Amino acid sequence: MSQGEKLVIRPFEPADAGQISDLFTHVYGQRYVYPEVYLPSLIGQRNASGHWRSIVAEQQDVIVGHAALVIESPHARCAELAMMVVTPTAIGRGIGIRLARALCGHARQWGMEMVVAMLVSSHSQTQRMAAPLGFVTTGLLIDYLPSPYAIGTRETYVLTCLPLQPRPLPDIVWPRAAWPWIEDIVAPLGTCRSMPGLPGPEGRPALEVRSDGELVVLTINEVNARVLAEIARLPRHCCRVARLRVCHALDAASRSLWSAGYRHCGLMPAADGGWYWLMQAGFTTRSLRLHCHHASRIFAAAHEHGPHA
């Protein structure tokens, strides 16, 4: 493919779905984490419903790149930049960063507060792309999803955020074990005296759980002693991620989870406002090639402070 041929970045059209699916199959085989990309009809449906907002890179009527914003609900205040893929013969030409920049611009126009990007730790090019676009590293998700590159392994993701509107962190006492790196996150995001409202709709349960058989994700919407005691009872044979709503009780709550083997892994924005504190237990990865020194400090601290049962 000649570099002199004109490259066009444009919005998704229904007729693109087949080529997009073929591109993912060509690059990732059958291992990509979003199964919908293998089903052209679902690519079309997700875009028609607004759950995905895809754009493509096209050259001489051939789609050579794709990326999308994933929007959880019509009321979501942040979107995830995801499903980026570039044909191998076009890598190194800046197509990925052009797709990302275009989608971030669209998110700003649509009134989103924030764009989140989860960067695969084994993919150095995507890690390097985040900082020039203004993304701030806020956390790690260790052994989080099956790897699209190696069968039978799991990937660690660097969690990054691009604030499009202010979403400061509350001015609270952060867990002491996170002090070596928490200022790296607080400084670019800022703080406020008021506590952000509850994430999500009213009536959300105090504890939500989902699992893929190897990973359990716990969302703690109401921090109390009963919920924390129940979490400590979980079987320890798999990786566990706890997302605690950031509140004034965070320091005490995190100490309870720390005693159950959980370690601090940063912050994650809630889709409908506010922030979650991330803690993990049961991860097995011991070394990573991280190109962000903030992510490296979080990872090092998670291993430094004793076992993570």
The CATH number assigned to the domain holding 25 equals 3.40.630.30
Domain of 226: which CATH number?
A: 3.40.630
Closest CA to 168 of 197, 136, 140, 196: 196
Does residue 197 belong to any structural domain of this protein?
no
pLDDT value for 204: 77
Pairing of strands 191-192, 169-170: parallel
pLDDT above 70 as % of the chain: 94
Residue 179: Cβ within 10 Å count: 11
What is the 8-class DSSP label of residue 214? Answer: S
Confidence of residue 202 (pLDDT cuts 50, 70, 90): low
**In a shared domain, residues 67 and 179:** no
pLDDT of 306 over the 60 cut = no
What confidence tens digit (pLDDT) does each residue in 156-169 have? 999 999 999 999 99
Does residue 142 belong to any structural domain of this protein?
no
**In a shared domain, residues 188 and 291:** yes
Q: What is the pTM of this model?
A: 0.89
pLDDT value for 269: 92
Does residue 240 belong to any structural domain of this protein?
yes
- Of 92, 107, 125, the last residue of a domain is 92
- Of 74, 92, 110, the last residue of a domain is 92
- Which residue type sits at 24? F
pLDDT of 199 over the 90 cut = no
Closest CA to 1 of 54, 62, 43, 56: 62
**In a shared domain, residues 184 and 273:** yes
Between 198 and 129, name the one with better pLDDT.
129
The 8 Å CB, 24+ separation contacts for 108-112 are: 108/164, 112/76, 112/77, 112/78, 112/79, 112/164, 112/165
What is the 8-class DSSP label of residue 60? Answer: T
Contact between 182 and 172 under an 8 Å Cβ cutoff? The reply is no
Does residue 200 belong to any structural domain of this protein?
no
pLDDT value for 3: 57
Q: CA-to-CA distance for 28 and 238, rounded, in angstroms? A: 26
- Of 92, 121, 145, the last residue of a domain is 92
Name the most confidently modeled range: 4-8, 110-114, 299-303: 110-114
Indicate the number of domains in the chain.
2
Does residue 176 belong to any structural domain of this protein?
yes
* Domain containing residue 25: 7-92
**In a shared domain, residues 181 and 63:** no
**In a shared domain, residues 299 and 174:** yes
Does residue 265 belong to any structural domain of this protein?
yes
Does residue 136 belong to any structural domain of this protein?
no
Between 266 and 206, name the one with better pLDDT.
266
Does residue 291 belong to any structural domain of this protein?
yes
**In a shared domain, residues 67 and 184:** no
